[in-house]
Amino acid sequence: MDVMEAISLGLDCVCIAGTGASKTMPFMMPLLLEDNEARVLVISPLKILQEEQARHFVAMGISATAVNGDNWNKALHQKLEDGQYRALITSTEMCLKHEAFRSLLAASAFSKSLAMVVVDEAHCISQWGREFRKDYAELAKLQFFILTTIPFLATSTTLPPRHSRRDFDAVLPLLTQDGKWLTTLLDIIKMYLFVNKVGPALELCQFIKAYVLQDLKQHIDSMFALQMVSAKWRVMKEFTEGTVKVLIATEASGMGVDIPNIEQVIQLGVPSSLSVWVQRAGRAGSSPQLQARAILLVEKSTFKQQKANLKSKEVGEDSLEWVKKVESAIWEWIECPKQQHQLPNTSVDPPDSPGNIPQGSNTDDNNNNNNNNNTPDNGPKLRRGEHCESVHLALMKWHFKMKKSHYSPSSYTAAAILPDPVIAILSSHSTVKTIIDLKQHASYSSIVAEAHFQELVVLIESIDQAREAEKAAKALELEEKQAEKLCLDEERCLESIQRWEEKKLRTKEARELKAKLEKEEKARVRAEAKKQREAEAQARKDKAKAKRLLAHAVKNTPVGLHAFATIIEVNASPATPHISSQAAKRQVQCCYNSDTPLPLPLPKTLAPSCWGVGNLICNSEGE
């Protein structure tokens, strides 16, 4: 019931229960509600389990089907789109690799109809995700193409707590100055929170957001190498402006960006080297007016030992190695007393340390107990791999050479000069410096070996020194590559910022040019409209003027013409069949509407081929 309630509130959950404990009830009960039309997506590892769960849902009166490569077809696809099934039992491969089904999951309508996503037998993620079924390791991608508000439920019978949650509890009290609960934005310290890997960084970001109030979640964000440059730039901009107060990162973000008001840097887990820790810790307290602090949270496994996994039963059978391997320089920094934790300003040389390994705490008793000088970069001083093989080969060559040069001919064999168990001990145990040390590890020795022991020590030390020099050279090369990569990333970031600024400038110029062209076009249209209106006004004026002139002409026409116009009648006759009396009448009346005597001869323009007015005959010449 608690799991079902949490799911109904939209919370991600983990359900650990034994076989037969009804782990399916939390995601089955919401489907039994009559007014609930939501669907459930169940991810099951085996096809036989998918079919069995589908039958179990159907027996409970819930429409369900298994969705896998064996039964996928267009008809099933259409039924899923139509929402005929409320419980879909499928696999990770179908969700991530099957294009059609993946498109269906990513569809907005389908995603909105989901009530939850259930990962059944969730222990398969850690057991199968590396080699057997690698898609299980990528199951988190499912969150990217469905709604973020849909809760996830992981169920298992054997899921250990270490698989379900990392130990992030130590971070919560460090988010505020007094270690109290966050209530307002002013309580949050502006900080970097560095994590060594992307997965734990995202988990830590979600973990912190789950413990703060809803209004404060927007002030917590994450940044890592796999993000797009635009996303990194947005996060860094918000972090610089103060919108984001807690930034969880996996790299030394903000290279070249001066953020003086960072009050705290927390490193969760031992970083790869002391130089990385110094670089990350140096991000805090850039302003001289700010009291800042840098905190390194060390895993418990750093202080734990386990039996070494050695091939030879004769060598190091009871030897121990460190669970977590870290660089010797940063180990010495962790090991030194608290009052010596001063980050160097001009170098990254680690502070001096007595050299012993504490068993979980830094006390004076531990520092004074100088029984050995082991550091956890290689665990207890045991040579392994190529290092051990090189020493072993050198000792083998030495005892054959010694046999040939000093004890030939003689009854001594090479094995008698330096027995194989002694060679194995000398090649693996770097703490063997004297005959007494050798006798503590070997059940028997050799008189000849004891006579030449100092020569053997010199030979082994020369190999060790060459090995250390090689490791130092590789470490230096690695640091140079890392520095080069950081510089390259910084250059790329700056180039991206520059391209973004140039694009922004081009966009601004384009908008300005578009606005200018639109303004010119509007001005042109207004000018043409004005010109047209002026032309129409002028035409009206010309027309009115013509009317006035015509009226004036009519008014000043002689009276005789008016009289003539009133009596003239042009009639068609057999002699003039082509004359239109109405047309002639209109033409004469229009042009000679006057009372004055008709001027003779008439103008040719008014004289058709023949005019008849009473007894007056006019020829074509107007006479």
Which CATH number belongs to the domain containing residue 64 in this structure? 3.40.50.300
Confidence of residue 255 (pLDDT cuts 50, 70, 90): low
Percent of residues, the chain, with pLDDT higher than 70? 70
The confidence score (pLDDT) of residue 525 equals 92
How many other CB atoms are found less than 10 A from the CB of residue 353?
A: 19
Q: Of 234, 268, 297, which closes a domain? A: 297
Q: Of 116, 139, 164, which closes a domain? A: 164
Q: Of 164, 199, 225, which closes a domain? A: 164
pLDDT for 453 beyond 50: yes
Arithmetic mean of pLDDT, 479-508: 86
With vertex at residue 371, the alpha carbon angle to CA 366 and CA 375, rounded to the nearest 5 degrees, is 75
Judgement on whether residues 116 and 73 belong to the same structural domain of the protein: yes
The total domain count for the chain is 5
Is the bond leading into 409 cis (omega within 30 degrees of zero)? Answer: yes
Judgement on whether residues 247 and 280 belong to the same structural domain of the protein: yes
Provide the CATH number for the domain around residue 402.
1.10.150
Query: Is 476 a domain residue?
Result: no
DSSP 369-388: --S----TTSTTTB--HHHH
Arithmetic mean of pLDDT, 126-135: 60
Token readout for 543 is 């027309």
Confidence of residue 336 (pLDDT cuts 50, 70, 90): low
Arithmetic mean of pLDDT, 353-357: 39
Confidence of residue 526 (pLDDT cuts 50, 70, 90): very high
Strands (E), 254-384: 264-268, 293-297, 305-307, 320-322
pLDDT for 387 beyond 70: yes
Judgement on whether residues 288 and 315 belong to the same structural domain of the protein: no
pLDDT for 140 beyond 50: yes
Q: What are phi and psi of 291, to 5 degrees?
A: -90, 105
pLDDT for 447 beyond 60: yes
Nearest to 138 by CA among 102, 87, 86: 102
Confidence of residue 304 (pLDDT cuts 50, 70, 90): low
Q: Establish how many alpha carbons lie within 13 A of residue 235's alpha carbon, considering only the half-sphere containing its beta carbon.
A: 19
Judgement on whether residues 143 and 289 belong to the same structural domain of the protein: no
Q: Considering only residues 222 and 129, tell me which one the structure prediction assigns the higher pLDDT.
A: 222
Judgement on whether residues 98 and 11 belong to the same structural domain of the protein: yes
Model confidence over 390-408: pLDDT tens digits? 888 888 888 788 877 777 7
Arithmetic mean of pLDDT, 30-41: 77
| Mean pLDDT (the chain, rounded) | 74
Residue 180, SS3?
coil
Q: 58, exposed or middle or buried, with CB in 10 Å at 0-12, 13-18, 19+?
A: middle
Judgement on whether residues 397 and 285 belong to the same structural domain of the protein: no
Terminal CA-CA length for the chain:
126
Judgement on whether residues 357 and 395 belong to the same structural domain of the protein: no
Q: What are phi and psi of 154, to 5 degrees?
A: -105, 125
Helices (H), 430-558: 435-441, 447-451, 453-555
pLDDT for 608 beyond 60: no
Query: Is 526 a domain residue?
Result: no
How many other CB atoms are found less than 10 A from the CB of residue 344?
A: 11
Its pTM stands at 0.36
Query: Is 520 a domain residue?
Result: no
The confidence score (pLDDT) of residue 265 equals 92
Judgement on whether residues 15 and 62 belong to the same structural domain of the protein: yes
Distance CA(369)–CA(364), nearest Å, equals: 8
pLDDT for 612 beyond 50: no
Arithmetic mean of pLDDT, 492-514: 88
Token readout for 297 is 């949270």
Arithmetic mean of pLDDT, 507-531: 91
Judgement on whether residues 289 and 311 belong to the same structural domain of the protein: no
Query: Is 483 a domain residue?
Result: no
Confidence of residue 69 (pLDDT cuts 50, 70, 90): confident
Judgement on whether residues 11 and 127 belong to the same structural domain of the protein: yes
pLDDT for 472 beyond 80: yes
The region of weakest confidence among 153-162, 201-210, 521-530 is 153-162
Judgement on whether residues 242 and 151 belong to the same structural domain of the protein: no
Judgement on whether residues 209 and 86 belong to the same structural domain of the protein: no
Query: Is 495 a domain residue?
Result: no
Distance CA(189)–CA(574), nearest Å, equals: 121
pLDDT for 100 beyond 60: yes
Query: Is 454 a domain residue?
Result: yes
Token readout for 271 is 């970083």
Most confident among 86-100, 239-253, 409-423, 527-541 (mean pLDDT): 527-541
CA distances from 299 to 62, 79, 118, 203, 588 (A): 47, 51, 32, 17, 122
The confidence score (pLDDT) of residue 200 equals 84
Query: Is 357 a domain residue?
Result: yes
Domain encompassing residue 127 = 2-164
Query: Is 506 a domain residue?
Result: no
Longest dimension (CA), the chain: 178
Is the bond leading into 601 cis (omega within 30 degrees of zero)? Answer: yes
Instruction: Let me know: does 246 contact 220? Beta carbons within 8 Å.
Output: yes
pLDDT for 171 beyond 60: yes
Q: Considering only residues 349 and 53, tell me which one the structure prediction assigns the higher pLDDT.
A: 53
